[in-house]
C-alpha cells in the first residue's frame, strides 16, 4: 500500500497538471469507488468546480475544489495519472475526471480497494487520524506522550493511523531498524534514549522515502508513470535472507499484526 512518501510524491506530481483545471465530466464503471454519493449526484456536485490546491493528509490525497474536498485513498494498487485521451488509460481505470483542457485524470486500481470521497471536511471520512510525523508540531515530547503506557508492540502501534498518520509497513520497518528497536518490543518499555532515536528515525525514514520518490515494489508508480527509487535504499524491508548492511547478519522476516515484518536480529535485539 502506498505510504506517506508515495502519496506525497503523487501529490507533488499532480499539482502542475491539475491546479487551475476545471472538471467537465465524471465517468466510472465501479460505483463503489465513489463515496458517499451515487455517481449521478457525485457528478452533479463536482462538475464545474476547479482544482485550487492539492495536498496530503496521512495517506489521503486532498484536492481542494471551489466548494468541496475531493479526497482519494489509493489503498493497495491505486494509481493516479493525467493523459490526453481516455483511450490512453490502462484496463484497470475505474474512475476518471474530464478536464477543461481536454485531458483526463485517471484513477487506476486493479484490486478496486481505492476510494474517492467528496465532502466539505476531511473529518467526514477520516475522523481519527494521528499527528503528521514530518510537521514541526510533531516533537519527541508528542511521541513520548502518545506512547504513554501502551501495551501494544511498537510495530503494531506504528501501523495504527490514529497513533501517527501516514506510516505503514515499509517505513515502520525501516524506522525501527534505524533506531535499533525490535518490532515486538512493548511500546511502554521503550527507554528515553530509544524514544528519542525512534522519533528521529521515523522522520528520517519518511524523509528519505520522499527524497527517493517512493518505493516501486509492486504497483506504485509516480503520476508520470516512472518508478520511485526508495526500494534501492532499504536497510531491511523486502531484504529477508540478505546480509544486514551494518553487521552482516541475515535479515529475518516475521509476521506482526498480520503484516510481513523485517528486522536484523543482531542490530535489533528482542531483549
Cβ within 8 Å of residue 258, ≥6 positions away:
none
Residues marked active site are found at 2-3, 59, 259
Nearest to 46 by CA among 19, 67, 21, 20: 67
Nearest to 219 by CA among 79, 56, 58: 79
Q: Beta strand 104-109 with 78-83: parallel, antiparallel or unpaired?
A: antiparallel
Q: Are 167 and 4 in contact (CB under 8 A)?
A: yes
User: Rounded to an integer, what distance in angstroms lies between the CA atom of residue 137 and that of residue 145?
Assistant: 13
Distances (CA, A) of 183 to 13, 86, 173, 175: 33, 45, 8, 10
Dihedral angle, C-alpha 84, 86, 89, 92, nearest 10 °: 150
Q: Give the distance from CA 261 to its chain's centroid.
A: 17
DSSP assignments along 205-225, one per residue: HHHHHHHTT---SSS---TTS
Q: Are 252 and 261 in contact (CB under 8 A)?
A: no
User: Rounded to an integer, what distance in angstroms lies between the CA atom of residue 201 and that of residue 267?
Assistant: 14
SS3 27: strand
Nearest to 100 by CA among 12, 169, 46, 22: 22
Amino acid at each position: 500500500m502506498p505510504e506517506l512518501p508515495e502519496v506525497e510524491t503523487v501529490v507533488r506530481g499532480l499539482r502542475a497538471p491539475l491546479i487551475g483545471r476545471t472538471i467537465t465530466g465524471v465517468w466510472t464503471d465501479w460505483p463503489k469507488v465513489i463515496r458517499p454519493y451515487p455517481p449521478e449526484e457525485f457528478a452533479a456536485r463536482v462538475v464545474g468546480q476547479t482544482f485550487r490546491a492539492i495536498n496530503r493528509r496521512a495517506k489521503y490525497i486532498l484536492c481542494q475544489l471551489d466548494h468541496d474536498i475531493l479526497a482519494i485513498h489509493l489503498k493497495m494498487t491505486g494509481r493516479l495519472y493525467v493523459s490526453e485521451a481516455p483511450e490512453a488509460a490502462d484496463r484497470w481505470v475505474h474512475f476518471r475526471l474530464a478536464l477543461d483542457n481536454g485531458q483526463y485524470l485517471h484513477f487506476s486500481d486493479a484490486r478496486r480497494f481505492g476510494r474517492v470521497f467528496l465532502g466539505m471536511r476531511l473529518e467526514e471520512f477520516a475522523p481519527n487520524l494521528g499527528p503528521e510525523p514530518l510537521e514541526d508540531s510533531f516533537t519527541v515530547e508528542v511521541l513520548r506522550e502518545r506512547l504513554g503506557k501502551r501495551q501494544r508492540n511498537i510495530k503494531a502501534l506504528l501501523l495504527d493511523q490514529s497513533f501517527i498518520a501516514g506510516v505503514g509497513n515499509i517505513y515502520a520497518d525501516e524506522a525501527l531498524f534505524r533506531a535499533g528497536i525490535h518490532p515486538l518490543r512493548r511500546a511502554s518499555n521503550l527507554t528515553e534514549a530509544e524514544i528519542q532515536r525512534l522519533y528521529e528515525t521515523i522522520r528520517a525514514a519518511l524523509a528519505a522515502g520522499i527524497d527517493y520518490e517512493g518505493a516501486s515494489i509492486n504497483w506504485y508508480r509516480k503520476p508520470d508513470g516512472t518508478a520511485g527509487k526508495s526500494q534501492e535504499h532499504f536497510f531491511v524491508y523486502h531484504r529477508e535472507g540478505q546480509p544486514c548492511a551494518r553487521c552482516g547478519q541475515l535479515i529475518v522476516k516475521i509476521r506482526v499484526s498480520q503484516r510481513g515484518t523485517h528486522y536484523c536480529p543482531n542490530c535489533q535485539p528482542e531483549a
